[in-house]
Amino acid sequence: MTRTPQSLPQGRRLGRIDGDVAGILLLAALLIIVLPLGLDIFRLNMVGKYLTYAFVALGLVLCWGSAGILSLGQGIFFGIGGYCMAMFLKLEASSPEATKIQSTPGIPDFMDWNQLKELPWFWEPFHSLTFATIAVVAVPALLAFIVGLAMFKRRVGGVYFAIITQAFAAILTILIIGQQGYTGGINGITDLRTLKGWDIRTDEAKLVLYFVNAALLIGCILLCLHVRRSKLGRILVALRDKEDRVRFSGYDVANFKIFVFCFAAALSAVGGAMFTLQVGFMSPSFVGIVPSIEMVIYCAVGGRLSLLGAVYGTLLVNWAKTMLSESFPELWLFAMGALFIGVVMVFPNGLAGLYQQFIAPRLGRLLPRPASRASAPIIPPHTAAD
Amino acid sequence: MSSDKINADKTIGGLPSPLRRKLLLGMAALPAVGLLPRGALAQALPTDAVNTTKLAVTDSTVKVGILHSTTGTMAISETGSVQAEKLAIAQINEMGGVLGRKIEVIQEDGASDWPTFAEKARKLLVEDKVAAVFGCWTSASRKAVLPVFEQYNGMLYYPTFYEGLEQSKNVIYTGQEATQQILAGLDWVTKEKGAKSFFLIGSDYIWPRTSNKIARKHIEMHGQKVVGEEYFPLGHTQFNSVINKIKLTKPDVIYASVVGGSNVAFYKQLKAAGIDLNKQTLMTISVTEDEMLGIGGENIAGAYACMKYFQSLKNPNNEKFVAAFKKMWGGESVIGDVTQAGYLGPWLWKLTAEKAKSFDVDKIAAASPGIEFTGAPEGYVRVHENHHLWSKTRVGRARTDGQFDVVFETADLIEPNPFPKGYQ
Amino acid sequence: MFEGYSLAELGSIFAMQGFAGLILFSVFVLMALGLAIIFGQMGVINMAHGEFMILGAYVTYLCSTFISSYAPALFPVYFFIAMALAFVASGALGMLVEWAMIRFLYRRPLDTLLATWGLSLILQQVFRSVFGAREVGVVLPDWLMGSVAVTGTIEVPINGLFVMALTTAITVAIYAVMFRSRWGQGVRAVMQNRVMAGAVGINTEKVDRYTFGLGCGIAGVAGSAFTMVGSTGPTSGQLYIVDTFLVVVFGGAQSLIGTIASAFTISQAQSTMEFFLSGSTAKVLTLLTVVVILMLRPQGLFVLKVRR
């Protein structure tokens, strides 16, 4: 399922590769062997759903952790990715035979209820799985490109960028809810059944999708690692810490920011598409302000600089959410609020930071050679300042 | 077995007298099996016979689920339904349970989040193997769980009035679908107030839009006019512009389906703008006694609400229901239309199980049409072939104390019609 | 849509519509002023601003229940008492939050954003545990309800007038405090150059604490006033947060005049569009326009040169 270490991008030092590879192998073992063996299909499907958020968190590690751009609108891209996939699945579920009781057979049920007589033009291409798959990545990336171009070229960043992306999330939610004939409205696109004739609702399908999801996630981590290790990744860090110096050195700072924002958007969208496949529907409640900001906390809990931390953070927060809301519903908001505050004030480097601080040194003492490296440098005090 | 019987007797003996009388009356009205002691009944209907699909049924208990939001933005609305369902289950248990088995409740929190609803529905059906689930409130949550109930063959009792356009073997809709709520009310306001023109205003999502679509067709079919139709995003709080439009178009009736926090703002601003609801007819399909708490009676007094149930309804069933509800949940609590519909769920399920002599979902689904519940607070209800309820439509007039005066009810039960021909 | 109306009728409708725009303007200014002080002057993103407003609203609710049962004679004027208490309550909580949390996060605005979001979640749950999940109805004294008939056809809501008067009063008061008092001088000095301000003997920590408290206190008053036009529930605060931030950012963050100008622009645009288009479309168009203008002119309407 996972790639062999040989296919990894070559880093500078041997020790670095070992540390990251060990971490990734450990995660892969956890996701692909331990969890499927230890959990029943119901819980495993839940973990699968959590892991789709981890794609968003990965994007945020690059975008926010590495490059210092905090987007409060990642839900937009998660949502668009999910909607692209949902549109394809919905069209497949709305074959003329399956919808013959409608006044216009062959179009999705919610369109029929809204008196649409034919499929809107932008739905047409989603009959093709290839197109839908490309759209999952391309549409969010394009949108991110436009937003990024407008904002970064004008040197808008920091807080303003966060607030404007948040406003976009609000706008998109209102639009999706309001245009229910085209989008399914507040109910979203529901009752998705098959992917190319393959029933995605069965337990076997859920198991397969879980593994696909886990493999994709590992692949994306490797990709992110590659980006971070490249010269590009180092420029991103440089412009986070001293943007002007990078600019004075002759780099077009905006282009790098646009790239990383688009990249994060595409990652989120992949997560969204996998979410739709595993959960079986998509709705505007994953697009809005609240989910977008919650996704930031997944990344922050894991450690905003650590790719692996983001995955563990996502799993941990969501698991805690499920557990707490099952047993102590009133406590959940308190816990979530405390998490936001704690992660900012007490442990800004999240789980990865705790690991570096407390566990790695002991591991180092136990093992003959340093198995880990400082994968998460401690955040300098002024990183987040604009 | 004998200890079971003693327990049952004790709990009935401990009931407050009006409730006890009601329960005893209710028991008398039931088929003869209802009077058998629990042990004997459970023996008469062995678990193997009543449960062929491995549901969580033992010789003395049966598990059901309650699936509502107790946290998040929807908790406000769903609390009443949870309370009503628990009350119904407690009463049923005091009467000896269902098919001689005591109901055990597993409550799950949907947390106002639709995938959580789907997840928890799956948990209830797959892990807990509950015989029935009472739950969901918003259409979005129902749409999210529906495929789960169909896939795992569960039974859902859904309490909210909703937009229709749905029908499933696995769902019993105990609230009214759109035509049941809208048409009779429009006819009444036409006849009573001579209304010729309507201004439709709602929150921007599927239920108000579908409801207004049906309302508009009905209005136009009768040669009346819709002079405005407006939708605002959920949570919108500024209505002064639209109030000016209302003043400009001077409709005979304002027809409102605004929900949530917007509701409060809408009525307050309407009143502040000098629109006196005692002179300007306003009919709403979204304000129950629950919403009145937030809006404040003085802001909405005089408006007409079109529902199937009001707390102030005068009939013996309802008086007992209100008393029992307040005894269980406190004298301050109010009961709205959906709360009452939530109360119907467990009772309908019990009656169906006893008719089918089984907990099997397929048998329950098949036995449901024709089930009658004479003890319903709203009066007599009956399950239709399409799994919705035959029920009356009523119009209430809001009072300053947060209650409604019932000013009209249809003579007959209205047939549920989730896919109304000519209204789509 | 205007056929069949006399000129006089149209005139009065437009007058009332203009007035509706003014009410919306006042509401925006009330929401945004506190945030503009906190964000503009201190660089702190307070995502819990809406919850501070709702705290004010709940204080008003408590006041109305308390006074109507224990001192009914005071009821006609209770609203003023409630506003004062709302100011004190929200301001005190604000100062506590500044002391416990915000002061560690200056120069990390994105982190204040996350931390205050966490605070807003906690406050929401506190409201829910204390006041219940349902919205509460605040009973207003009779004189605040209803409308004044200016002419036969023009009617002006009294609570709208009240909100406008209140907004004016608060704006004037803030102007006086910020630009005419010694303390305001200190605030501006700290904002423009913290180190120098400290060097000339200004207690910057104290200034920060009181500035934050002032901003939150104004939010409390705004919340108190909003009980007249909106809902009071644990999550009502979140409804306001995006609008409020856009008003502040659109105005140019460091400029109070800018905030007022942007509130005016946005409210007039929204209220006009709401009249000619349908509600949802108007809202989307307003937000989109603001965002697009901000993308083209990120510094906002008014810019104040600040040395950081």
Which comes out higher in pLDDT, residue C214 or B25?
Answer: C214
pLDDT of residue A14: 44
pLDDT exceeds 80 at position B21: no
Q: Would you call C284 and A175 a contact, using CB atoms and an 8 Å cutoff?
A: yes
User: Alpha-carbon Rg of chain C, whole angstroms?
Assistant: 20
Q: Tens digit of pLDDT for each residue in B208-244? A: 988 999 999 999 999 999 999 999 888 888 888 888 8
pLDDT exceeds 60 at position A111: yes
Residues B334 and B222 in one domain: no
Residues B137 and B215 in one domain: no
DSSP symbols for B95-147: TT-BTTBEEEEEEEE-TT-HHHHHHHHHIIIIIS--S-EEE--SHHHHHHHHH
Q: Would you call C242 and A339 a contact, using CB atoms and an 8 Å cutoff?
A: no
Mean pLDDT, residues B72-85 taken together? 84
Q: For residue B27, what pLDDT band results from cuts at 50, 70 and 90?
A: very low
**Structure tokens, B277:** 């609801």
pLDDT exceeds 70 at position C79: yes
| Full domain range(s) for residue A47 | 9-366
Q: For residue C1, what pLDDT band results from cuts at 50, 70 and 90?
A: low
Mean pLDDT, residues A200-226 taken together? 92
pLDDT of residue A146: 92
**Taking a C-beta distance cutoff of 8 angstroms, is the pair A163, A93 a contact?**
no
Answer yes or no: is B381 within a domain: yes
* Chain C residues with a Cβ under 8 Å from any Cβ in chain A: 43, 45, 101, 104-105, 107-115, 117-122, 124-125, 128-129, 238, 241-242, 245-246, 249, 280-281, 283-284, 287-288, 290-291, 294-296, 298
Percentage of chain B surpassing pLDDT 90?
62
Residue B223: give its domain's CATH number: 3.40.50.2300
Answer yes or no: is A1 within a domain: no
Residues B166 and B212 in one domain: no
Q: Tens digit of pLDDT for each residue in A376-386? A: 444 444 443 33
User: Rounded to the nearest 5 degrees, what angle is found at the Cα of A77, between the Cα atoms of B146 and A20?
Assistant: 105
pLDDT of residue C5: 66
Residues B232 and B360 in one domain: no
Answer yes or no: is B419 within a domain: no
Residues B137 and B27 in one domain: yes
pLDDT of residue A130: 95
Mean pLDDT, residues C102-121 taken together? 88
Mean pLDDT, residues B374-395 taken together? 94
**Mean of pLDDT over chain B:** 86
Residue that is written with structure tokens 């459970």 in the block:
B42
Answer yes or no: is A116 within a domain: yes
- Helices (H), ranges, B194-257: 206-221, 240-249
Answer yes or no: is A386 within a domain: no
Nearest to B264 among C1, C230, C271 (CB): C230
Determine which of B113, B138, B230 to mutate to test the interface with A (most A C-beta atoms within 10 Å).
B113
Residue A155: give its domain's CATH number: 1.10.3470
Residue that is written with structure tokens 């109304």 in the block:
B420
List chains adjacent to chain A, taking adjacency as at least 3 C-beta pairs closer than 8 Å.
Answer: B, C
Q: Treating both helix axes as pointing N-terminal to C-terminal, what angle do A289-302 and A41-60 enclose, rounded to 10 degrees?
A: 90
Which comes out higher in pLDDT, residue C69 or C255?
Answer: C69
Mean pLDDT, residues C92-116 taken together? 89
Strand pairing category for B372-373 and B381-383 = antiparallel
Q: For residue B35, what pLDDT band results from cuts at 50, 70 and 90?
A: very low
pLDDT exceeds 70 at position B317: yes
Separation CA C246–CA C252 (nearest Å): 10
pLDDT of residue C179: 87
pLDDT exceeds 90 at position A79: yes
pLDDT of residue C2: 59
Mean pLDDT, residues A351-378 taken together? 66
**Mean of pLDDT over chain A:** 84
Answer yes or no: is B420 within a domain: no
Q: Who contacts B71 (Cβ-Cβ below 8 Å, separation ≥6)?
A: A325, A329, A330, A332, A333, B109, B111, B112
Mean pLDDT, residues A134-146 taken together? 95
Per CB-CB distance under 8 Å, the chain C contacts of A338 are 118, 122
Is A339 an interface residue toward C (CB < 8 Å)? yes
Residues B147 and B19 in one domain: yes
List chains adjacent to chain B, taking adjacency as at least 3 C-beta pairs closer than 8 Å.
Answer: A, C
pLDDT exceeds 50 at position C182: yes
Separation CA C63–CA B117 (nearest Å): 39
Residues B325 and B200 in one domain: no
Q: Would you call C23 and B240 a contact, using CB atoms and an 8 Å cutoff?
A: yes
pLDDT exceeds 90 at position A344: no
pLDDT exceeds 80 at position C278: no
Cα-flanking dihedrals φ and ψ of residue C46, to 5°? -100, 95
Residues B265 and B371 in one domain: no
Sign of CA dihedral B25, B31, B36, B38: negative
pLDDT of residue B40: 54
Q: How many domains does chain B have?
A: 2
Residue B223, exposed/middle/buried by CB under 10 A (0-12, 13-18, 19+)?
A: exposed
Q: For residue C139, what pLDDT band results from cuts at 50, 70 and 90?
A: confident
Answer yes or no: is A236 within a domain: yes
pLDDT exceeds 70 at position C156: yes
| Full domain range(s) for residue B197 | 178-307+395-409
* CA A343 to each of CA C111, C115, C125: distance values in angstroms, whole numbers, following the listed order: 9, 8, 19
pLDDT of residue C52: 95
pLDDT of residue B204: 85
Mean pLDDT, residues A43-54 taken together? 92
Mean pLDDT, residues A81-107 taken together? 89
Half-sphere exposure in the Cβ direction for B107 (13 Å, CA): 18
**Taking a C-beta distance cutoff of 8 angstroms, is the pair A350, A343 a contact?**
yes
Nearest to A373 by CA among A384, A386, A360: A360
Q: For residue A3, what pLDDT band results from cuts at 50, 70 and 90?
A: very low
Residue that is written with structure tokens 């301050």 in the block:
B332
Q: How many domains does chain A have?
A: 1
Mean pLDDT, residues A247-270 taken together? 92
Inter-chain CB pairs, A–C, below 8 Å: 130
Q: How far is A3 from chain C (nearest CA, A)?
A: 36
Which comes out higher in pLDDT, residue A33 or C255?
Answer: A33
Separation CA A294–CA A336 (nearest Å): 9
Of B123-127, B364-368, C253-257, the one with minimum mean pLDDT is C253-257
Per CB-CB distance under 8 Å, the chain A contacts of C129 are 330
pLDDT exceeds 70 at position B29: no
**Mean of pLDDT over chain C:** 85
Please state whether B255 falls in left (phi above 0), alpha (psi between -120 and 50) or beta.
Answer: beta
Separation CA C229–CA C160 (nearest Å): 8
Q: Would you call A154 and C281 a contact, using CB atoms and an 8 Å cutoff?
A: no
**Structure tokens, A341:** 């505050």
Nearest to B253 by CA among B303, B290, B181: B303
pLDDT exceeds 50 at position B31: no
Mean pLDDT, residues B304-322 taken together? 95
Sign of CA dihedral A256, A261, A265, A267: positive
Q: How far is C205 from chain A (nearest CA, A)?
A: 18
Q: Which range, B157-161, B417-421, C77-81, is most confident? A: B157-161
Is B235 an interface residue toward A (CB < 8 Å)? no
Residue B310, exposed/middle/buried by CB under 10 A (0-12, 13-18, 19+)?
A: buried
- Residue type at A61 in one-letter notation: V
Mean pLDDT, residues C39-56 taken together? 88
pLDDT of residue A212: 95
pTM value is: 0.85
**Structure tokens, A32:** 């692909």
pLDDT exceeds 50 at position B34: no
Residues B196 and B225 in one domain: yes
Q: For residue C307, what pLDDT band results from cuts at 50, 70 and 90?
A: very low
Cα-flanking dihedrals φ and ψ of residue B199, to 5°? -115, 115
**Structure tokens, B347:** 């009772």
pLDDT of residue C131: 87
- Give the bridge partners for C240, in sequence order: none
pLDDT of residue C293: 84
Separation CA C256–CA C248 (nearest Å): 9
Answer yes or no: is A385 within a domain: no
Q: How far is B265 from chain A (nearest CA, A)?
A: 19
Answer yes or no: is B284 within a domain: yes
Closest chain A residue by Cα to residue B124: A42
Determine which of C140, C229, C271 to mutate to test the interface with B (most B C-beta atoms within 10 Å).
C229
DSSP label at residue A56: H
- Give the bridge partners for B395, in sequence order: B306, B408
Answer yes or no: is B417 within a domain: no
Is B165 an interface residue toward A (CB < 8 Å)? yes
- Helices (H), ranges, chain A: 14-29, 35-38, 41-60, 74-93, 109-113, 129-152, 158-178, 180-183, 203-229, 231-241, 243-248, 253-279, 289-302, 307-327, 329-345, 350-354, 360-366
Per CB-CB distance under 8 Å, the chain C contacts of A293 are 114, 117
Cα-flanking dihedrals φ and ψ of residue C89, to 5°? -65, -50
DSSP symbols for A285-296: GGTSHHHHHHHH
Inter-chain CB pairs, B–C, below 8 Å: 127
Per CB-CB distance under 8 Å, the chain B contacts of C160 are 240, 272
**Structure tokens, C92:** 């005190």
pLDDT of residue A367: 61
Residue C169, exposed/middle/buried by CB under 10 A (0-12, 13-18, 19+)?
A: exposed
Length of chain A: 386
Determine which of B209, B212, B262 to mutate to test the interface with A (most A C-beta atoms within 10 Å).
B209
DSSP symbols for B348-382: HHHHHHHHHTS--HHHHHHH-TT-EETT-TTS-EE
**Taking a C-beta distance cutoff of 8 angstroms, is the pair B320, B19 a contact?**
yes
Q: Which range, A267-276, A345-354, B51-60, is most confident? A: A267-276
Residues B206 and B123 in one domain: no
Which comes out higher in pLDDT, residue B89 or A100?
Answer: B89
Length of chain B: 424
pLDDT exceeds 60 at position C155: yes
pLDDT of residue B180: 92
pLDDT exceeds 90 at position B394: yes
> What ipTM, to 2 d.p.?
0.85
Per CB-CB distance under 8 Å, the chain B contacts of C145 are 271-272, 298
Residues B242 and B142 in one domain: no
Q: Would you call B205 and A177 a contact, using CB atoms and an 8 Å cutoff?
A: yes
Nearest to A340 among C43, C115, C249 (CB): C115
Closest chain A residue by Cα to residue B204: A178
Q: Would you call B274 and C147 a contact, using CB atoms and an 8 Å cutoff?
A: yes
Which comes out higher in pLDDT, residue B408 or A114?
Answer: B408
Q: How far is B166 from chain A (nearest CA, A)?
A: 10
Answer yes or no: is B418 within a domain: no
Answer yes or no: is B416 within a domain: no
Answer yes or no: is B422 within a domain: no
Nearest to A333 among C121, C238, C242 (CB): C121
Of A29-38, A283-292, A363-372, C269-278, the one with minimum mean pLDDT is A363-372
Q: For residue B15, what pLDDT band results from cuts at 50, 70 and 90?
A: very low
Per CB-CB distance under 8 Å, the chain A contacts of C273 are none
Mean pLDDT, residues B310-321 taken together? 95
* Chain B residues with a Cβ under 8 Å from any Cβ in chain C: 73, 75-76, 79, 204, 229-233, 235-238, 240-245, 247-249, 260-265, 268-269, 271-274, 290, 293-299
pLDDT of residue A17: 52
Q: For residue C53, what pLDDT band results from cuts at 50, 70 and 90?
A: very high
Residues B83 and B101 in one domain: yes
What are the percentages of helix, strand and coil residues in chain B, rounded to 5?
A: 45, 20, 35
